Structures are given as C-alpha cells and as structure tokens.
Structure 1
C-alpha cells in the first residue's frame, strides 16, 4: 500500500517538475478562418528571451489554397525611446500528416514589415506555421493576420475531358493537312 502511494506521489512530482521546466514551451494554437478567409493570430510573452510559437490550421477537402500572412510586433519605451520589444527572426510553414510535421518552402521577409507565405499552394490537409524570435524586454506581444484564397481542385474527369478535347483537336488538324504541299 505504501509502495503504491509512494510511486503515485513520485510520479506526480516528476510530472509537475516536467511541466514547470517546459514553462517556456507554448501549446499549439488552432486558427479558424472567417468567411472572408482571414485568421488572426498572436502571442504575448511575459519574460525576455527566445520563443517559438506554433499555429495550426486546416485546408478544406477538395480545395487548393494560397496563403499570405503579415505580422507586427509590439513597441515599448526602452531607455527613453520607443522601440520594438520583439524580434521575429523566421516564420516557417509545415504540413502535418499523422503527427509528423514536414517543413514547407516558405518566403519570409521583414523589410518594412513582416510578410510570409508558403511558396507553393496547399491542397486539403492539416498545416501550420512556426513563429521564431526573441523578446528584448520582459513582457510584450506580436499579432498578425493569415489570409487564405481557395479554389476547388478539378476532378480527374475534368482532366480526362480536357485531354480528350486536345486529342480531337490534334486529330482534326492532322486530317486537314494541305495536299498541295505534298
């Protein structure tokens, strides 16, 4: 009886210590797009140092999506001047299949504002992006907007009909060859 109680207490203490040690790691945030295709994201950090935040979203079945995002960082007074209290160094998109995340080619720019987007369009599935950077002072935040434009993915029968039509055009053009030239 004492052994079982001791093991439960020890397990609880180890779990608590693990949770306290991983206090800097934030849980994944799930984004939801509104009717216009916009999702708002952001995070507040209470301590100075590095951070890595992850945001998840889904692309509907039978659609192809093009995404574009922007972000702004908070400003505060540092040594008497109004300065950015955040530095976002990179934003990377990834796909997630069965819990495995694979990074996607991402265009990230911080010249005159933070802009980011996946280089290729996304098909239906689960995706996300990771915001990495650091805070200059204790406390501060950043926020952004992710916009999605979707279009239906053509059915295979549409491609078959396109191929058949092009084949008929080629056949007709071949039959109408000029007999005078040979």
Structure 2
C-alpha cells in the first residue's frame, strides 16, 4: 500500500514539475461583444522568464472592421511605478471549420499606446487574435487589459441611398432659389 501511495505522489510531483517547466504559458478565451460592438479581454500572469501567449476567439456575423486597444499594468517597486507586463506582439487569424488557422495581415502599433487591427475588414466567420508578451519585474506578476471593437462595414446600397438623398437635397435647394432677386 505504501508503494502504491508513493507512486501516486511521485507521479503527481512529476506532472506538476512538467507543467511548471513547460515553457510558454497559454490561455484561450472566447470574447462576448456588447450591443455597441465592444468586447473586453484581460490576462494576469505570475512572474516567469518565459513568454506568455493568450488566444482570444470571436465570431463575426457581418463584414466588419476590427480595432483593438490594450494597456499594461503597473507595479510600485522601490517607490517608482513601473510596467509589470510587456506585450510584444498581437496577431489576428481566421479559423476554418476544421480548426486550421491562417494569420491575417495585422497592424500592431505601440506609439502612444497599444493599438492593433487587421488591415482588411473581416467577413462573416470565426476569428481570433493572439497576444504575446511577458512579465517584466522579477517575483511580481503582470497584467494587461484591452477592448476589441467590431464596426460593421456599410453595404454599397447604403452609399447609393446616401448619394440619391444628397442629389435630391441639391435639386430641391436649386428649385427654391428666387430668380427675381438676382
């Protein structure tokens, strides 16, 4: 009986050690959008020298532009506020029905804040993005948070109706000018 218990404990310890030494931490989350087309995402990571890769999945019902922003957390160390997490890349992808992912051309800009978006609008389908980063301060964790916004792309008929409406306004304005005065 002691031998069986020892095997179970040893197996658990080996499994735990393997998980702790497994390199990059990874998480996967499905985003839910509110009525305004916004979805919030966040991740907190314990200190590690390894890279963290978090995956966020979402569905698009109609052709839409996607734009995201993110901020990293700060920690007070020796009286100074320092960033506790660094986002090094964000990459959008499209996922087919079989689960195969294809990277999309993505803009990742850290000038004046973190902004990211796919270059082209997203058609109806399954999409996601990965956030790659790491904790910065030894023995402290790190956190980031962000928002992804989906804005529908107007259909060509919307532009046609807008053009007709402006044309009708111009026509009626022209008819109302008084030729007697001028």
TM-score, scaled relative to structure 2: 0.70
Instruction: State the partner residue of 1:139.
Output: 141
- Measure the CA separation in 1 of the matches of 2:104 and 2:118: 7
Q: What's the RMSD between the two structures over aligned residues?
A: 2.7
Q: How does 1:31-50 map to 2 (within 5 A)?
A: 31-49=31-49, 50=51
Instruction: State the partner residue of 1:68.
Output: 67
Instruction: State the partner residue of 1:148.
Output: 150
Instruction: State the partner residue of 1:161.
Output: none
Q: CA deviation at 1:35?
A: 0.5
Moved over 6 A (4+): none
**Conservation of the 8 A alpha-carbon contact between 2:60 and 2:122:** yes
**Conservation of the 8 A alpha-carbon contact between 2:46 and 2:135:** no
**Conservation of the 8 A alpha-carbon contact between 2:27 and 2:53:** no
- Measure the CA separation in 1 of the matches of 2:27 and 2:43: 11
Instruction: State the partner residue of 2:58.
Output: 57
Q: How does 1:11-160 map to 2 (within 5 A)?
A: 16=15, 22=22, 24-49=24-49, 50-60=51-61, 63-97=62-96, 98-137=98-137, 138-151=140-153
Instruction: State the partner residue of 1:167.
Output: none
The 1:91/1:23 distance shift into structure 2, 3 A limit, reads same
Secondary structure class of the residue paired with 1:34: coil
Task: Identify, as 1 or 2, the structure richer in strand.
Answer: 1
Secondary structure class of the residue paired with 2:152: strand
**Conservation of the 8 A alpha-carbon contact between 2:66 and 2:118:** yes
Q: CA deviation at 1:16?
A: 4.3
Unaligned runs of 5+ in 2: 1-7, 158-182
Q: CA deviation at 1:20?
A: 5.5
Q: How many residues align?
A: 144
Q: CA deviation at 1:134?
A: 1.2
Q: CA deviation at 1:19?
A: 5.1
TM-score, scaled relative to structure 1: 0.70
